Amino acid sequence: MQQISDDVLREYEHLKDALNQHNHRYYVLDDPSVPDSEYDRQMRELQAIEAQYPGLLSEDSPSQRVGGKALESFTQVRHTVAMLSLENAFSDAELEDFDRRVKDRLNYAAQKNPTEIEFACEPKLDGVAVSLLYENGQLVRGATRGDGSVGEDITANVRTIKSIPLKLRGDNIPSLLEVRGEIYLPRPGFDALNAKAIAAGEKTFVNPRNAAAGSLRQLDSKITASRPLEMCAYSVGQFEAEVTPDSHTHMLETLGGWGFKINEHVVAVMGIAACEDYYSAMAERRDQLTYDIDGIVYKVNNLALQQRLGFVAKAPRWAIARKFPAQEEMTKLLDVEFQVGRTGAITPVARLAPVFVGGVTVSNATLHNGDEIKRLGVCIGDTVIIRRAGDVIPQIAKVILEKRPEDAQQIVFPERCPVCQSSVKRAEGEAVARCTGGLFCGAQIKEAIKHFASRKAMDIDGLGDKLVELLVDAGSIYSVADLFELNVDQLLGLERMADKSATNLTAAITASKETTLAKFLYSLGIREVGEATAQTLANNFGSLEAVIEADAEQLLDVDDIGPVVAKHIVNFFSNPDNLSIIQALRESGVNWADIDQNAQASQPLKGQTWVLTGGMEIMSRAEAKDRLQALGAKVAGSVSAKTSQVVAGPGAGSKLTKAQSLDIPVLDEAGFLEYLNRLG
């Protein structure tokens, strides 16, 4: 027998115990203790040891199990056809190895002029795998995957999910049909569920997958019914019918005809190179989807070839999952710093041991406010799970209490501003605490100037964050109005500022004087007044004087302006210091053309809501948005029943799909440009 060292045995037993515990927390308690990436790492380490020392492999190894055992509170269901898991690939090289193994098993080398293998590509939904059994077209049972052989009977709960047909529709209904699919919680529903939990002072869910699992394991099906779960079908188990589809994609089309929801991004491609292209395209589109996916599943599309390829102990040889970079990772909270924003908001920022998550190395995460710190129960020194999706600011999703050190420190929210030492106050009804120092506070001055100079505001090219901080620290500027008094000699006195850079910056400041009323309003940094609200104010009032003179009642008559925003606008223009800065800006030459209210009344798109999605090749998205707003349209970020028109460029995804489902008119870029030309 192969000699195994004590160190290897200890490490092996440690990994087995850890993975079994993770499985129990993940599948049974619905309370995962580590992110998926950490679980995958430990599983691969275990598999590597078993590959090197086959004598260690036993039936109780986590590598031989698909999931966790069924909950005792549910009736157990034995799957007639086992629900297996998938082998994972984490790189193009591993995906290409899979393709090579498939071809070897099919003896491709012996074929004359062999074609590439056709693969079905589909997003790997991050939810809960389920089995649905139909007899003569009627749903008779729903079950979780469980350990692959035995699951939990959740029939009462799956009946509440509207995307699951209770009775199959169409022709050629099989006498016996077992459909496998993924039940998941779309992001809007997840956000609403957590918001409701926070309002009630209850525990929130870590992620949508966790929420979906918890929703399905409710003993009271009314609770399940109250949550907006969805299911996509992705395969079949038992199947007794006169006619059998010949491919996986044909099978999915057939299931769609019988009433099942099928993911809209399923495609069939030829060859592994096309699979890699699909992976890249979906990785870019991932954050635009309304649901979480954690990778791509590839399946040999031809069902006869699937039969020839067969299975290994726990996975089919004809399928593999290519994982995306993890969106959740585990790291340590080293410290918390408190930053001051341009409106005085005090934001706690977590300083982390650097960790690679969501495709980038993360060392900071937002903690939002004092309530969030209290809700998480987080301390300095804790091990935490960090979540980052796309361009979303990383945030702490959960604290691993079992790993809390004895010297963990409570996070104390400051009573005085860390920059100017003014008192920190929290207004009644608000979650955010603010510095009361106003423009006396150096941090607020800096952030106000950075916002004023930003691309979507006055767009002063070359005036970056570090330069703003240098100018304020050197006493060269004290407000946004001082920018227009800067000269080359002043700039040359700053660190790393050469003659050409100084000349270019003063030219950019001069060029920024020509602007629009909407951009100027946005640049002022009025609380809750973003780009869209600034454009709305400009369109409705036409001049800065009219906006300044408007009272709360007049502001409330404007669409999309509520009591809170109206109050902020009135308060801002009631402050004599703010009016003084505006006057100084105008005297320095900042100007715009007022909007003719008579012309406004005849704007052809007034009252309409448009949505831009996908890429634009001739006109940029920003230009398209400006043109639409100039014509009176509101440009929204999401599609709803109130949307008037959608412009869909290359790469349009879920927004286009939703528009089509709601029968909202859709224009491509060429049609959009032609439409604008007709309007003049």
DSSP 247-305: BHHHHHHHHHHTT----TT-EEEESHHHHHHHHHHHHHHGGGSSS-EEEEEEEESBHHH
Q: Residue 259 region, left (φ>0) first, then alpha (ψ -120 to 50), else beta? A: left
Contact between 535 and 592 under an 8 Å Cβ cutoff? The reply is no
| Residue 89 token pair | 């690939």
Nearest to 84 by CA among 334, 372, 243, 321: 321
Residue 171 phi, psi (nearest 5): -110, 170
Residue 170 phi, psi (nearest 5): 90, -165
CA distance to 99, 326, 395, per residue, from 235 (Å): 21, 25, 35
CA 173 to chain centre: 38
CA distance to 52, 276, 354, 444, per residue, from 360 (Å): 33, 21, 10, 29
Contact between 534 and 518 under an 8 Å Cβ cutoff? The reply is yes
Alpha helices in 330-388 (DSSP H): 370-376
DSSP 418: T
Contact between 350 and 364 under an 8 Å Cβ cutoff? The reply is yes
Q: Give the residue numbers marked as catalytic.
A: 124
CA 62 to chain centre: 31
C-alpha 450/C-alpha 466 separation (Å) is: 9
Identify the helix (H) or strand (E) that includes residue 88.
Answer: strand 87-89
C-alpha 289/C-alpha 282 separation (Å) is: 10
